[in-house]
Each structure stands twice: as C-alpha cells, then as structure tokens.
Copies of this chain bind each other. A is one copy, B any other.
C-alpha cells in the first residue's frame, strides 16, 4: 500500500486508550480520574503506578471508574549473562502475569531485552527460550504475551528483537496461541517490510496490540522525545489502515514519553491527544 492510500478518518474515541506512562506526572488515582473525566475508555497500566497503589487497589480504581485495561506494561527483559539472572527474569514475568490477571487485562506487553555482553544472535535464542517457558503459566493465567519489537536504536540496551519480521518469526517458531505481537508505530514505521509483516501478523491471529505516537523531526533524545500524533513524520493513518486490513479491531493505545508533554497540564495534554487522534490517525 502506498503510504498515501489512507483509510477513512476516525469518527470517535471509542477505541482510544492511554498508557499510564503517557501521563507520567500523575499517580494512578489521578490518571484514572482524568481519563474517566475526559471520556477515555481504556488505560494501559505500567507496573510502577500499579505497585505504588498496590495491585488490588489499582484493580479497584480502574473497575470503579469503569475503565478497561488493554494491557499491563511491561514484562520481558529476558536477556542476561547469567542463568540465575535469566531465571529471576522468568519469575518476575510470572508475577507480571499474576498482576495482569488481577487487574482484569488479558495482555502482557513484553519488551524482549538485550544485554551488551550477550551477542545478539544468542540474545534472540534466550528470548525464545524464555517465552516458551512462560507459555504454560500465561495459559493458566488466561493472559496473552505480546512481544513488542523495539526500534533498532534500542538494540544495545532494551531489545534484541528490532523488526516486526523477527517478532513474527519468533512467534511462528514458538507456535503457541497465547504468543503474539504488539505493533508500536514508533518502533516500526521506517521498515520497508512493514505492510507485508503487519498482514502476516494479522493472518496468523497474532496482532494483539497497537500503540500510537509520532516521531519528532528532529528527535533530541533516544527515549523521552516522542511526539503527539500528527506532529511528526509517521504515516499514522496509513499504518492504522494496515492493521485494520490485517483484521485488528482492538485498542488504539497512545504511548508518549516526552519531557515536553509531561511538563504540560495533563488535562490539556489529554485534550490534545484526543484531538490529534481524531485528526491524524
């Protein structure tokens, strides 16, 4: 699909969700209250705010506010030099699955991990091994595992899975129904194989999640300079059309890490997110 072959504009915010990290200045109570007040129907929870509130209280807060929880963010980080550290990571991921279940979400976002001392090829084997070991626990918890390929600029310190193709290959190799992929436009927009790989993910029934933000031109920080949709260079509507053609009907989760936006009034920021979502996605 040519990038300009857009689908129809969005007409409402029914599928719009926001990550708690997107509103980092807020604690969970304030985040939930703001989302509810602004008519945001879903909030994906990061573990920091969940732990600060306590898991049971966090579950209560979102339930009382009538919010859905598209996913818990984030497990993974499976790659380590030592077997002991890898085993500890698996334990931590089992705790993530318990928390996801307690929070009423059926999806855990996995950042695969990497380690400078571990060659990338071996790191990728470690990720496969870890996810395979996690499958029975995930099945028992009724929580799916969503592998998120991260941009190649994170290959040194966050993820050895850097393309959608590699995430798809990994899912195929594992071959478990509970293992799929989360597509974040920020990580994959540059990929010449994007359309075909999104179709492949969808055809296999593995497109579990979809994250939105934009790529700032020029980006001043590798981590905390994501843009609001429409203010960067990612062809958002084209990519949304690709995921819809691949059969995705789930949440559109806004995940923005930005010192600039975190310095704003967060209510105004949510208003800006809604306007950007309807106008540009």
Q: Could you say which residues of chain B place their CB within 8 Å of the CB of A189?
A: 155
Task: Count identical subunits in the complex.
Answer: 2
> Chain A: interface secondary structure?
loop
A122 vs B218: C-alpha distance when bound (angstroms): 20
Please determine whether B222 and A3 come into contact, CB atoms closer than 8 angstroms. no
Please determine whether A219 and B153 come into contact, CB atoms closer than 8 angstroms. yes
A231 vs B168: C-alpha distance when bound (angstroms): 32
Q: Say how far A83's CB is from chain B's closest CB, in angstroms.
A: 18
In the complex, per-residue mask of A1-29: 1 if CB is within 8 Å of any chain B CB, else 0: 01110000000000000000000000000
Q: Which of B121, B220, B233 is within 8 Å of A2, CB to CB?
A: B121
The range of chain A's interface size is 20 to 34
Please determine whether B192 and A3 come into contact, CB atoms closer than 8 angstroms. no
Q: Which of B116, B166, B215 is within 8 Å of A217, CB to CB?
A: B116
Closest to A160 in B: B190
Most buried by B among A152, A157, A215, A238: A152
Q: Could you say which residues of chain B place their CB within 8 Å of the CB of A156?
A: 215-219, 232-233
Please determine whether B152 and A192 come into contact, CB atoms closer than 8 angstroms. no
Q: Which of B116, B124, B233 is within 8 Å of A192, CB to CB?
A: B124
Q: Could you say which residues of chain B place their CB within 8 Å of the CB of A162?
A: 190, 192
In the complex, per-residue mask of A84-127: 1 if CB is within 8 Å of any chain B CB, else 0: 00000000000000000000000000000000100111101000
Q: A116-B217, A116-B233, A222-B222 are in contact. Are A190 and B121 (CB under 8 A)?
A: no
A residues near B, CB below 8 A? 2-4, 116, 119-122, 124, 151-153, 155-157, 162-163, 166, 189-192, 215-220, 222, 232-233, 235, 238
